[in-house]
Structure 1
Amino acid sequence: MIVCYDILFLLVIALAAGFDIKTRRIPNAISFGTIFPVIGKACAKISEHSGNAERIKWLCIDMAGGLAVALLLTGIPFLVNRSVGGGDVKLSSLGGLYSGTEGSLTVLATAFLLCAAAALAMMAVRKRRIGAMPLAPFILLGTIQFLLFAYLP
């Protein structure tokens, strides 16, 4: 059942990535659309562990940690010099709720590294500085990488 929420989450992020590439904006309806798989996965995990208050407590702590990590890693650059867009902050924050603390670190580290590598490659090819790059496609790649490794034995 949780795999369905993973697929839905990936589809919403893919839609956000498409908008980010095309318009350099992520509409609020899409950013906040990720709340549905977040709620669905949380409800599925809670029902899976019903009766075990300790597991549910750690699930909530993990989700809160994921949100905190995502807000720190994307919110600070947004507030300081607007190097990350507001849509990216909302998308990664809800992604942090979805993937938890470890997942949020994995997704955002992968996203930032891939974005930096792509920016360096573009600067090497164009021989000039680039103005802005969409972050949502790299968040999508980081999420795919995290989910693939989450299901490996």
Structure 2
Amino acid sequence: MADIEWNDETHALGIAPIDADHRAVIAALNDARNASTNAFAEAFRTLAAVTCAHFQNEEALMTKCGLDDNEHRGEHRRVLGEMEMLLARAEKGRARIARAFVAERMGAWLDIHIQTLDSALAAHLARTGFTTEDTPATAPPDGAPDRRTPGAPPGPGA
């Protein structure tokens, strides 16, 4: 299966910490898409953790800049809920639906999410003059690979 490639036109928002998070989500998604049967549940667990950390970072930024976007936060909760359900199944050896989600839905969802809800966040930041210079991308969850910078070590506690 071909990897999802970072594309500045499709994925870049010009918000360094969010763009770094999106790169990390894409890398974890590619890892899950390419995982062997035996490694899939762990790769999907990492994808869920990286996605959750990104959503937390994004929502913290939304709070900091005064953007109250319940639709955006609700979409985060919906996707995390779906991922949690699929992860529970995959950890029990029933990964077929989770594999289909990773192979067919997650990448398309991420593109749409970035181009709509995340782009609205970027536009709000531009309109209000809010800067993210003091809002660095946070480290990935414990043990998850740090994909914000190629070759970076794993997150804390790894």
Please identify which structure carries the higher helix content. Answer: 1
Asked which structure has the greater CA Rg, the reply is: 1
How would you bin the TM-score normalised by the shorter chain?
Answer: 0.3 to 0.5
Q: Which has the higher contact order (CA 8 A, sep 6+)?
A: 2
TM-score (normalizing by structure 2): 0.42
